[in-house]
């Protein structure tokens, strides 16, 4: 029996969560180091998965399959394709940086401000989320996926509500109320989506007789499982609704600005760079494979919703006064690009969407974590409270600028490649949608450059005149992310080589071919 590498990759952070939570309350530093070590060990396993994956091999590799609830056809089935393997690598890569960036976020608060918060609980919850996200990327049994798709909401609820941002303009009492509101809103939105999906999961079992993604997809492909048109469409909508909430897609997005605004910066990165990617990933893995005809039927409506997300998110980002809420609305716009690329039904669009998931995770982590370092120094999230930071903290300002430029998809940085592929892939099949979506780029330039100008340039405000520059721990967090943004912007081939074969198989599932150019290239 071969070593269960996929199981180990998911179980290791779960063990780390239990071990970290068990550290005595007085040993806060030990809990931090233990969590960091487990995240690094998980990264090593994720790299092993990436190295062992053969892009030209079978669609699902490193598979595991064991009986679980035999009476209902539920199995413990795991497997990774090219899309899943790069997202697992992204998740494992970001976790050590999230832990390092949040090193002091759960330290005891000042006397009288609020109840003491257990440091080990904060880091244990982060590792628990990592375990559940990785299992969601690995699961090829629909019921198994559903369990972890929903279970990750619980640790995220406590991370948002119990360990929120300390910087608030209206004081600790109001901040506590708003954190609770954001956490409950996050939980309710995602629970409603999950309950609708549960009904669709049960309906799928009634129709197919099992929960195996591979068996159902093969049965659909060879004609042995023929769903009625209306049945397929209703099941698709049940799955898609849950994924659209998680993604988040307009108009199901309103929980995200609250959650990211009230969470600490590392937890905000965990939300948008890691957890939300499960929604867009699941659209590719489950919606398109299980319900190909319904996916094509719903494509025009979904593209319109994605386009609204792009423009709406960017417009609201322009008008934000809060740094973290600005990044949240920018993420809504970026997720619109990802979903547009998925449902453009072209290989360029879907490859670009997958790369966008990875590149958005890295760029958002870089920008949000540097913003968190900035906010922790000044104690305010308001853009108006800053000015002239680049004169007193040039390294902080420089990394903030690179993160901002990556957010607007500047050529030479990683997000540009993915955004370009999404727009090209969309334009070849839906030119009007593609043209309108490009206005999102113009708006992105506006909100990111205005943000930088108002916070980093101009006269030095008295409140930031003594602001220290990035410390060694903070540089260890930011420098690798900046290096990755530059490397993948110049040389994205390592990712495209893994992703493209999986995208071709997904295109085959929906029986779509790329549109032929109207003018043949000169030979």
pLDDT by 10s per residue, the chain, length 523: 578 999 999 999 999 999 998 888 778 888 899 999 999 999 999 999 999 999 888 889 998 888 888 777 788 899 999 999 999 999 999 999 999 998 887 776 654 444 445 788 889 999 999 999 999 999 999 999 999 999 999 999 988 888 776 655 555 555 667 778 888 898 999 999 999 999 999 998 888 878 888 888 888 777 777 788 898 899 999 999 999 999 889 898 888 898 888 888 899 999 999 998 999 999 998 999 888 889 889 999 999 999 999 999 999 999 888 888 999 999 999 999 999 999 988 988 999 999 999 999 999 999 999 998 888 888 888 888 888 888 888 999 999 999 999 988 889 999 999 999 999 999 988 999 999 999 998 999 899 988 999 988 888 888 888 888 889 999 999 999 999 999 999 999 999 999 999 888 888 877 777 677 665 655 5
H helix runs in 229-291, sequence order: 229-246, 255-262, 265-269, 277-282, 288-290
CA 39 vs. chain centroid, Å, equals 18
Output the pLDDT for position 173. Answer: 59
Number of neighbours of residue 166 by Cβ within 10 angstroms = 16
Q: Is 310 helix (H, G, I), strand (E, B) or coil?
A: helix
Beta bridge pairs of residue 141: 212
> Which positions ≥6 away from 183 have C-beta within 8 Å?
157, 158, 160, 161, 162, 164, 259, 262
Identify whether the C-beta of residue 297 lies closer than 8 Å to the C-beta of residue 370: no
Identify whether the C-beta of residue 16 lies closer than 8 Å to the C-beta of residue 35: yes
Torsion angle defined by CA atoms of residues 61, 85, 252 and 163, in that order, rounded to the nearest 10 degrees: 120
- The pairing of beta strand 61-69 with beta strand 74-80: antiparallel
Output the pLDDT for position 113. Answer: 43
Nearest to 421 by CA among 319, 503, 366: 503
How is residue 496 written in tokens?
């495209």
Output the pLDDT for position 518. Answer: 62
Output the pLDDT for position 520. Answer: 60
Residue 488, φ and ψ in degrees, nearest 5: -70, -20
Identify whether the C-beta of residue 225 lies closer than 8 Å to the C-beta of residue 254: no
Output the pLDDT for position 227. Answer: 80
Output the pLDDT for position 232. Answer: 87
Output the pLDDT for position 114. Answer: 45
Q: Could you tell me how many helices (H) and strands (E) the chain has, helices first?
A: 23, 2
Rounded Cα–Cα distance for residues 69 and 71 (Å): 6
Output the pLDDT for position 162. Answer: 80
């Amino acid at each position: 029996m071969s070593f269960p590498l996929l199981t180990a990759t998911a179980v290791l952070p779960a063990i780390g969560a239990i071990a970290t939570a068990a550290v005595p309350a007085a040993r806060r530093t030990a809990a931090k180091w233990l969590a960091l070590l487990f995240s690094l060990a998980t990264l090593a396993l994720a790299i092993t998965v990436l190295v062992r994956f053969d892009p030209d091999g079978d669609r699902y590799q490193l598979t595991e399959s064991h009986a679980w609830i035999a009476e209902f056809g539920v199995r413990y089935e795991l497997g990774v394709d090219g899309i899943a393997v790069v997202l697992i690598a992204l998740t494992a890569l970001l976790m050590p940086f999230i832990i390092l960036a949040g090193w002091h976020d759960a330290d005891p608060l000042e006397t009288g401000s609020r109840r003491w918060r257990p440091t080990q609980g904060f880091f244990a919850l982060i590792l628990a989320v990592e375990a559940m996200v990785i299992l969601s990327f690995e699961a090829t049994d629909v019921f198994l996926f559903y369990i972890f798709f929903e279970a990750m909401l619980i640790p995220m609820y406590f991370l948002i509500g119990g360990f929120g941002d300390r910087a608030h303009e209206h004081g600790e009492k109001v901040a506590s109320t708003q954190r609770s509101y954001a956490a409950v809103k996050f939980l309710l939105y995602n629970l409603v989506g999950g309950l609708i999906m549960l009904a669709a999961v049960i309906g799928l079992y009634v129709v197919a007789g099992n929960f195996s993604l591979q068996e159902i997809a093969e049965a659909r492909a060879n004609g042995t499982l023929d769903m009625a048109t209306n049945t397929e469409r209703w099941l698709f909508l049940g799955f898609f609704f849950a994924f659209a909430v998680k993604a988040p897609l307009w108009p199901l997005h309103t929980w995200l600005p609250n959650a990211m605004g009230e969470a600490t910066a590392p937890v905000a990165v965990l939300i948008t760079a890691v957890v939300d990617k499960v929604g867009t990933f699941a659209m590719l893995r489950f919606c398109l494979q299980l319900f190909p005809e319904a996916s094509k039927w719903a494509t025009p409506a979904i593209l319109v919703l994605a386009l609204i997300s792009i423009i709406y998110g960017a417009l609201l980002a322009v008008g934000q006064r809060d740094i973290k809420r600005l990044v949240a609305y920018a993420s809504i716009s970026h997720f619109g690009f990802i979903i547009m690329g998925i449902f453009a039904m072209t290989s360029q669009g879907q490859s670009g969407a997958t790369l966008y998931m990875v590149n958005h995770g890295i760029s958002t982590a870089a920008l949000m974590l540097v913003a968190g370092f900035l906010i922790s120094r000044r104690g305010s999230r308001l853009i108006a409270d800053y000015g002239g930071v680049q004169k007193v903290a040039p390294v902080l300002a420089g990394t903030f600028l690179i993160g901002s430029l990556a957010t607007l998809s500047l050529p030479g940085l990683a997000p540009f490649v993915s955004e370009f592929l999404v727009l090209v892939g969309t334009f070849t099949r839906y030119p009007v949608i593609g043209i309108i979506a490009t206005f999102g780029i113009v708006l992105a330039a506006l909100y990111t450059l205005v943000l930088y100008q108002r916070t980093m340039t101009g006269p030095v405000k008295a409140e930031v005149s003594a602001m220290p520059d990035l410390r060694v721990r903070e540089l260890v967090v930011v420098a690798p992310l900046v290096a990755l943004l530059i490397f993948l912007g110049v040389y994205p081939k390592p990712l495209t080589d893994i992703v493209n074969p999986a995208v071709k198989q997904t295109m085959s599932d929906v029986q779509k071919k790329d549109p032929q150019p109207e003018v043949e290239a000169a030979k």
